[in-house]
């Protein structure tokens, strides 16, 4: 059995957050005192281990102590707790918070004695918070991150006390970036395009139902292909804003947004039943943008770009990686632009990020500064210049390219940024970016406390109502629906994706075709026929063509005429009077069927309580085995196993013999079944499922033979030619090779057995007698083996 790799979600990490008692007792006294000092000041050093634990536990629970501590936090700690508050949960991915803290509070460069190792410093700010006891690792361990002897990094950390009401959200200082005055060749993602992509992904996954994953959590290629086929997306790698492996990207995005759920035990991805996906897709774009930005930051198994250098350090598993760290830093940097509505150079943004992160963060090999032993100031200067140059070259070749891909790929496609060219730049490359309105809402406005969520929600509901009544499509008499994306509300797009088949789409217009199958699928998913027509009409710029409206009604009515009931329960009564009495007395809820049946609406338990049942027969996953089948084809229904279906099943391929309890398989009965479309294998399978004992091979051969199919028994013979037997194989050899005896022989059929031509029996006997062979008339049976004799 292959090893399963499980990557918990933040919800699961939250549940794993170690118990305070358990965690504190594992920390040594010195560290505990240091942690207690944060809460109670210098007096902490007078405490022993146990009293330090008790003090910490009391402080964690005491709102007054928490408030007091909040007033004395360092700026790093305050920002760290604020970044967690913005996430609205007590746990955070380690990589994300470490990179964000490093961006906000870069570590001063101090070459010291001619050597500066950056190993592990990426986590330095986070480690400070761990050491001071403000954060705890979700794995319950107490070591710092970035230990050079361990590559293992616990994926998540959590806060030890509830600071959410005390820590205020305030925008950190803006980055030192200079806006660009003019931008040309603006490339914008229309909101409708994004909504269409998100909606179509949801609808396609909903149709797929679930998707297989591999043992280590990778997406299974056949399932990805199937999803891609349902989506019908084309990869636009050659465009200026490529999003490679778009299906995998959106899959990872929906998982990170907790709209899809990964079940590692059964190895499949399915819709999260708790998530209101449709409701999320119907939120105004600025609110949706926040969901998608957060999900993008944490998404796994998809990366913007892999440089050659980082290839050697690639993290192939599905956990949090350095991509998550850089995504977190990039999103935070975008939220700290001096003027959120202005254009900026991608290179400038990258350079600011390099200055803050580059010395301690790299996808690949991280350069260390080292000057020669007893270096002169000039030599130190030269070594420092080389170190800086190496860092810059490495960043520009790897992290900067990654940032360019992130802006032109996911951030552009999620509608968070728009791109442009510089007026005097001859290159076609999009070198400028600007936050969109949704991008500003998701990345900048989160630092501005003001609009309450409830208020925002009511505004969104109002705008939703306005949107849903908008006319945004034209329904043509040929069942094609032309949808204008700019005017379509998310709910309308979701509706049309459900009832139609997408034919073609561009940035502004999408064409769908209403087919019987697509409308049927939508009705089966729970859409009411009346609502289907109303919604189609309300979104249409013109009245529905009469032919289309009539046909849609016909399709819906046709569905109502035929019902397949799965997992139904039927009560069988001895006669109509008993059935009617049970219904009249109100003992059973359900609908009468025929003369003596009720289609029950209650559960089995409820029915057992309501009626004196003679028994319960379940037909799935295996029907009752109520048949006794003899080798000769005679079948008896076991009198103890009364079964509603068995007679009907038998009547398809067997003949009743007098009583309805006795049946027989005959050539005629199976031939009649064959005439109705049955095959021998189907008959055998059907009897085998119902037979108490396995069906004899002889009867199986007989059924195949009666139907003359491929598995019928091969030719057999009962021969008349006389048999010549000898005592040994050598004697038989001698006879067969003899020239004058050979014309009398037909074939050798064994070591000591030869068939003789019937007309030669007399002549051959004479010749053999003549040559001394004594011929008896009895068949020579082989002598029993020694073991047989003993038995």
| Interface ranges with another protein (CB under 8 A) | 516, 520, 523-524, 555, 558-576, 578, 582, 593-597, 599-600, 604, 607-608, 611-623, 642, 644-645, 647-649, 651-652, 673, 675-679, 682, 686, 689
Helix (H, G, I), strand (E, B) or coil at 304: coil
How far is the first Cα of the chain from the last one, in angstroms, to the nearest whole number? 46
Nearer to another protein, 566 or 718 (CB): 566
What is the helix (H) or strand (E) element at residue 635, kind and residue range? strand 634-637
Closest approach of Cβ 617 to another protein, in Å? Answer: 5
Closest approach of Cβ 639 to another protein, in Å? Answer: 8
d(CA 175, CA 355): 11
Nearer to another protein, 165 or 575 (CB): 575
Nearer to another protein, 567 or 759 (CB): 567
Residue closest to 394 by CA, chosen among 310, 327, 456: 310
Cα distances (angstroms) measured from residue 378 to each of 107, 367, 370, 381, 384 = 25, 20, 14, 5, 10
Nearer to another protein, 460 or 671 (CB): 671
Nearer to another protein, 443 or 552 (CB): 552
Residue closest to 652 by CA, chosen among 634, 670, 628: 670
Sign of CA dihedral 232, 234, 235, 240: negative
Closest approach of Cβ 681 to another protein, in Å? Answer: 11
Closest approach of Cβ 498 to another protein, in Å? Answer: 16
User: Please, which residues have CB within 8 angstroms of residue 143's CB and are 6 or more apart in sequence?
Assistant: 150
Nearer to another protein, 620 or 786 (CB): 620
What's the residue count for the chain? 791
Nearer to another protein, 621 or 658 (CB): 621
Q: Is 9 left (phi over 0), alpha (psi -120 to 50) or beta?
A: beta
Nearer to another protein, 61 or 608 (CB): 608
d(CA 677, CA 674): 5
Closest approach of Cβ 658 to another protein, in Å? Answer: 16
What are the φ and ψ backbone dihedral angles of 667, each rounded to 5 degrees?
-55, -45
Nearer to another protein, 615 or 776 (CB): 615
Asked if residues 494 and 197 have their Cβ atoms less than 8 Å apart, the reply is no
What does the CA dihedral 538, 542, 545, 548 come to, rounded to 10 degrees?
-30
User: Please, which residues have CB within 8 angstroms of residue 90's CB and are 6 or more apart in sequence?
Assistant: 14, 17, 84, 158, 159, 162
Nearer to another protein, 261 or 345 (CB): 261
Closest approach of Cβ 260 to another protein, in Å? Answer: 16
Q: What is the DSSP string of 192-232?
A: HHHHHHHHHHHHHHHHH-EEEB-TTSPBPHHHHHHHHHHHT
Nearer to another protein, 185 or 641 (CB): 641
Q: Is 88 left (phi over 0), alpha (psi -120 to 50) or beta?
A: left
Helix (H, G, I), strand (E, B) or coil at 164: coil
Closest approach of Cβ 652 to another protein, in Å? Answer: 5
Nearer to another protein, 610 or 734 (CB): 610
Q: Which strand ranges, in their side-by-side order, compose the sheet holding 91-93? A: 91-93, 156-159, 135-137
* Helix ranges, 398-508 (H): 399-406, 412-413, 437-443, 453-468, 490-499
Closest approach of Cβ 644 to another protein, in Å? Answer: 5
d(CA 517, CA 528): 15
Asked if residues 98 and 325 have their Cβ atoms less than 8 Å apart, the reply is yes
Nearer to another protein, 235 or 604 (CB): 604
Nearer to another protein, 35 or 598 (CB): 598
Closest approach of Cβ 589 to another protein, in Å? Answer: 14
Q: What is the DSSP string of 340-407?
A: TTSBEEHHHHHHHHHHHHTTT--SSPPP-EEPPTT--HHHHHHHHHHHHHHHHHHHHHTHHHHHHHHI
- The CA-based diameter of the chain, rounded to the nearest angstrom, is 128
DSSP-assigned letter for residue 706: H
Closest approach of Cβ 396 to another protein, in Å? Answer: 52
> Which residues are paired to 420 by β-bridges?
432
What are the φ and ψ backbone dihedral angles of 640, each rounded to 5 degrees?
-85, -5
Closest approach of Cβ 624 to another protein, in Å? Answer: 9
Long-range CB pairs of 694-702 (<8 Å, 24+ gap) are 695/629, 696/629, 696/631, 698/631, 699/629, 699/631, 699/632, 699/633, 699/665, 702/633, 702/665
Nearer to another protein, 237 or 622 (CB): 622
Closest approach of Cβ 598 to another protein, in Å? Answer: 9
Closest approach of Cβ 11 to another protein, in Å? Answer: 22
d(CA 551, CA 511): 19
Closest approach of Cβ 526 to another protein, in Å? Answer: 11
Nearer to another protein, 676 or 789 (CB): 676
């Amino acid at each position: 059995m292959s090893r399963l790799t499980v990557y918990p979600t933040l919800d699961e990490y939250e549940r794993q957050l170690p118990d305070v008692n358990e965690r504190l007792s594992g920390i040594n006294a010195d560290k505990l005192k240091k942690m207690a000092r944060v809460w109670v000041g210098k007096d902490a050093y007078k405490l022993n281990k146990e009293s330090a634990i008790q003090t910490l536990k009391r402080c964690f629970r005491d709102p007054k102590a928490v408030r007091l501590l909040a007033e004395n936090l360092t700026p790093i700690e305050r920002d760290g707790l604020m970044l967690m508050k913005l996430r609205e949960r007590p746990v955070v991915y380690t990589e994300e918070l470490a990179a964000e803290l490093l961006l906000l509070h870069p570590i001063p460069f101090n070459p010291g004695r001619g050597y500066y190792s950056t190993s592990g410093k990426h986590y330095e700010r986070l480690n400070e918070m761990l050491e001071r006891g403000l954060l705890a690792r979700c794995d319950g361990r107490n070591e710092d991150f970035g230990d050079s002897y361990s590559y293992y990094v616990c994926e998540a950390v959590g806060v030890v006390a509830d600071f959410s009401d005390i820590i205020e959200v305030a925008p950190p200082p803006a980055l030192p970036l200079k806006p660009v005055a003019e931008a040309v060749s603006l490339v914008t993602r229309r909101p409708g395009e994004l909504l269409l992509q998100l909606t179509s992904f949801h609808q396609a996954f909903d149709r797929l139902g679930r998707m297989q994953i591999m043992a280590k959590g990778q997406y299974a290629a056949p399932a990805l292909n199937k999803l891609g086929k349902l989506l019908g997306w084309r990869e636009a790698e050659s465009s200026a804003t490529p999003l490679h492996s778009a299906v995998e990207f959106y899959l990872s995005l929906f998982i990170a947004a907790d709209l899809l759920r990964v079940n590692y035990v059964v190895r499949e991805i399915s819709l999260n039943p708790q998530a209101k996906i449709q409701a999320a897709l119907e939120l105004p774009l600025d609110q949706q943008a926040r969901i998608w930005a957060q999900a993008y930051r944490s998404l796994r198994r998809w990366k913007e770009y892999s440089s050659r250098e980082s290839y050697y350090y690639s993290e192939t598993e599905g956990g949090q990686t350095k991509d998550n760290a850089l995504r977190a830093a990039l999103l935070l940097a975008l939220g700290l632009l001096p003027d959120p509505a202005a254009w900026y150079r991608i290179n400038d943004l990258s350079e600011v990020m390099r200055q803050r992160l580059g010395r301690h963060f790299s996808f690949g090999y991280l350069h260390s500064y080292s000057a020669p032993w007893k270096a002169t100031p000039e030599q130190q200067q030269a070594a420092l210049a080389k170190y800086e140059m190496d860092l810059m070259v490495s960043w520009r070749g790897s992290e900067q390219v990654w940032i360019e891909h992130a802006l032109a790929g996911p951030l552009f496609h999620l509608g968070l940024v728009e791109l442009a060219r510089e007026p005097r730049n001859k290159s076609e490359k999009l070198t400028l970016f600007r936050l969109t309105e949704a991008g500003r809402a998701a990345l900048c406005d989160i630092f501005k406390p003001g609009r309450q969520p409830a208020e925002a929600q009511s505004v969104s509901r109002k705008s939703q109502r306005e949107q849903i009544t908008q006319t945004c499509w034209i329904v043509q008499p040929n069942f094609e629906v032309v949808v204008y994306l700019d005017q379509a509300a998310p709910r309308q797009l979701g509706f049309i994706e459900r009832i139609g088949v997408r034919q073609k789409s561009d940035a502004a217009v999408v064409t769908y075709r209403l087919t019987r199958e697509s409308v049927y699928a939508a009705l089966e998913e729970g859409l009411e026929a009346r609502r289907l027509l109303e919604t189609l009409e309300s979104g249409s710029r013109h009245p529905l063509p009469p032919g289309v409206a009539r046909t849609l009604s016909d399709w819906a009515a046709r569905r109502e005429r035929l019902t397949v009931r799965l997992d139904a329960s039927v009560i069988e009564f001895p006669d109509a009077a008993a059935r009617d009495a049970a219904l009249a007395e109100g003992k059973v809820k359900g609908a009468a069927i025929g003369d003596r049946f009720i289609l029950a609406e209650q559960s089995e338990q409820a029915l057992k309580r309501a009626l004196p049942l003679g028994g319960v027969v379940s037909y799935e996953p295996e029907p009752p085995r109520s048949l006794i089948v003899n080798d000769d084809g005679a079948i008896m229904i076991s009198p103890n196993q009364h079964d509603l279906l068995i007679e009907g099943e038998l009547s398809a391929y067997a003949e009743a013999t007098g009583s309805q309890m006795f049946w027989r398989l005959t050539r005629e009965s199976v031939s009649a079944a064959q005439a109705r479309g049955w095959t021998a294998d189907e008959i055998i399978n059907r009897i085998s499922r119902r037979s108490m004992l396995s069906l004899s091979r002889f009867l199986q051969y007989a059924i195949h033979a009666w139907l003359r199919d491929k598995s019928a028994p091969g030719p057999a013979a009962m021969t008349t030619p006389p048999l010549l037997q000898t005592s040994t194989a050598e004697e038989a050899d001698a006879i067969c090779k003899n020239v004058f005896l050979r014309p009398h022989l037909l074939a050798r059929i064994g070591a000591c057995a030869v068939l003789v031509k019937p007309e030669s029996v007399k002549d051959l006997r004479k010749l053999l007698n003549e040559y001394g062979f004594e011929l008896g008339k009895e068949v020579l049976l082989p002598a029993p083996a020694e073991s047989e004799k003993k038995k």
